Structure 1
């Protein structure tokens, strides 16, 4: 059977989320997580469906891609198919020919699991390695310490608090209460938690969303940020520890995060919260 490129539509998102859950395992290369789709869902179900691509054979999904911006495809592949030549060559054709409806002309980036054959083919086709990112992982087999600050779970009534911290933590953020509600209505949020940390004066100082992929699988922190007016007080470490504890409660085997290697402060925050630095990963890009 031929490998078919498809758009799942809103009704097909549950199947894409399901296979992404199944493909997460301890020791896997840093890859697209159901939580990445969950965070994208802040733009709504229709927008999420429009941004997802699947590659299937005989109804079985072999690869899932998320167009996380106009020129970035975040791609992952079933563990037993990552070195498959037929799939890799199909992926190469589909991502390099704009008429296939995956990536446009001009400068574009692809994130794919390290070691996947499609990476080799992209390099052979003239693609280059982009700036490094640092994955970080915390094993959750042992108890997680108390974060040392007040942590509250965010529900619909506190959406405005999370949104305000996010805007204050990320330059250019346009996150709103409405986007929180859209995210919370998404399929992956059933296995997610939003947390906010408070200082001694009751100010909301940091926030995180954690996404479980199911018991015994790695869970994702995305996003995690500290209010720009409350940095360098340990709140990044505190909210990251609280995130690990929340994932442990959800049954996750480990907690994972990823940040640009140039963001040395974020790398240090994760490490202070008990995360171990893993080998760097890089997107691949094609110049215009």
Structure 2
């Protein structure tokens, strides 16, 4: 009789974050469903390494990480699973048990959401548990096989000395944003930022008008735009398209095979902006949620 190895739920700690990010890099591939990307962890890192470690969960078997989750807020678990075990029943049932029982330290009681690859068995099992599909999101993709025609505005790569420019655009573009200069520096110190760049677009008068952060996952793998925003004083002039194109061009320079992004389907303006930048919509995806 062959004994099945146990699935181990873990918190990686600060020292283990690099291994979790490496696993996420490995699992990115062309044609993959929209899934947790190393850039998602990298963007969360602005809250600090300790906070990021506290938000990450791993599921391992025989020393190999099989799944990585990140609590993007206490009630939302974003996760992905190694491609070869997405339909592994033993793993999926263990993950679902860990998610639905608050004492296991993954999700609290009450209303919670889980974002998982649409082809993962976890999706089916949560639905069997009575979880419902939430509002749709639209993933978009731009192929980077061919060179990207440059944007029509000046673009700068932001380093430590210009962090205040990047953070000011973020706070203007997103109400309630807490992206301070200090948090930029913390984010840039994270392991995922080695494959990332922050870009800012300037208008003819030298005003910083839009920004994006792009995250590569290694050569020949999809790279992520997260986040992109236009300063509220400079909307309606096509700067969203320009910074999106610049982000795609930078990802190609970093070796990415495609550029990907996801936005709520209800945000028709964002969908239109990405489409104008050469991104093609993919089938909608939905989180699953449990009622309180």
> Which TM class, normalised by the smaller chain length?
over 0.9
Give the Cα–Cα distance (whole angstroms) in 1 for the partners of residues 92 and 23 of structure 2.
18
Give the Cα–Cα distance (whole angstroms) in 2 for the partners of residues 59 and 8 of structure 1.
12
1:55-98 C-alpha deviation (Å, 9 max, x unpaired) = 00011000000000010000100000100100110011000000
Residue 152 (structure 2) aligns with = 148
Shift of 1:13: 0.4
Shift of 1:257: 0.3
Give the Cα–Cα distance (whole angstroms) in 1 for the partners of residues 219 and 52 of structure 2.
25
Give the Cα–Cα distance (whole angstroms) in 2 for the partners of residues 115 and 78 of structure 1.
12
Residue 7 (structure 1) aligns with = 11
Residue 196 (structure 2) aligns with = 192
1:171-210, aligned counterparts within 5 Å?
A: 171-210=175-214
1:141-166 C-alpha deviation (Å, 9 max, x unpaired) = 01101100000000000000000000
Q: Secondary structure at the match of 1:210?
A: strand
Residue 53 (structure 1) aligns with = 57
Residue 265 (structure 1) aligns with = 269
Please, what TM-score do these two structures have when normalized by structure 1? 1.00
Shift of 1:228: 1.0
Give the Cα–Cα distance (whole angstroms) in 2 for the partners of residues 282 and 65 of structure 1.
16
Which one of the candidate residues 160, 168, 171 is aligned to 2:172? 168
1:127-180 C-alpha deviation (Å, 9 max, x unpaired) = 000000000000000110110000000000000000000000001111100000
**Is 1:70 matched with 2:74?**
yes
Shift of 1:24: 0.1
**Is 1:21 matched with 2:38?**
no
Q: Which 4+ residue blocks in structure 1 deviate beyond 4 angstroms?
A: none
Q: Secondary structure at the match of 1:132?
A: strand
Q: Secondary structure at the match of 2:283?
A: coil
- Which runs of 5 or more structure 1 residues have no equivalent in the other structure? none
Q: Secondary structure at the match of 2:141?
A: strand
Please, what TM-score do these two structures have when normalized by structure 2? 0.98
**Is 1:109 matched with 2:113?**
yes
Which one of the candidate residues 15, 35, 39 is aligned to 2:39? 35
**Is 1:129 matched with 2:133?**
yes
Residue 249 (structure 1) aligns with = 253
Shift of 1:115: 1.4
Residue 220 (structure 2) aligns with = 216
CA RMSD of aligned residues (A): 0.4
Give the Cα–Cα distance (whole angstroms) in 1 for the partners of residues 119 and 133 of structure 2.
13
- Which runs of 5 or more structure 2 residues have no equivalent in the other structure? none
Give the Cα–Cα distance (whole angstroms) in 2 for the partners of residues 173 and 199 of structure 1.
23
**Is 1:234 matched with 2:238?**
yes
Matched pairs, number: 288
Q: Secondary structure at the match of 1:247?
A: helix
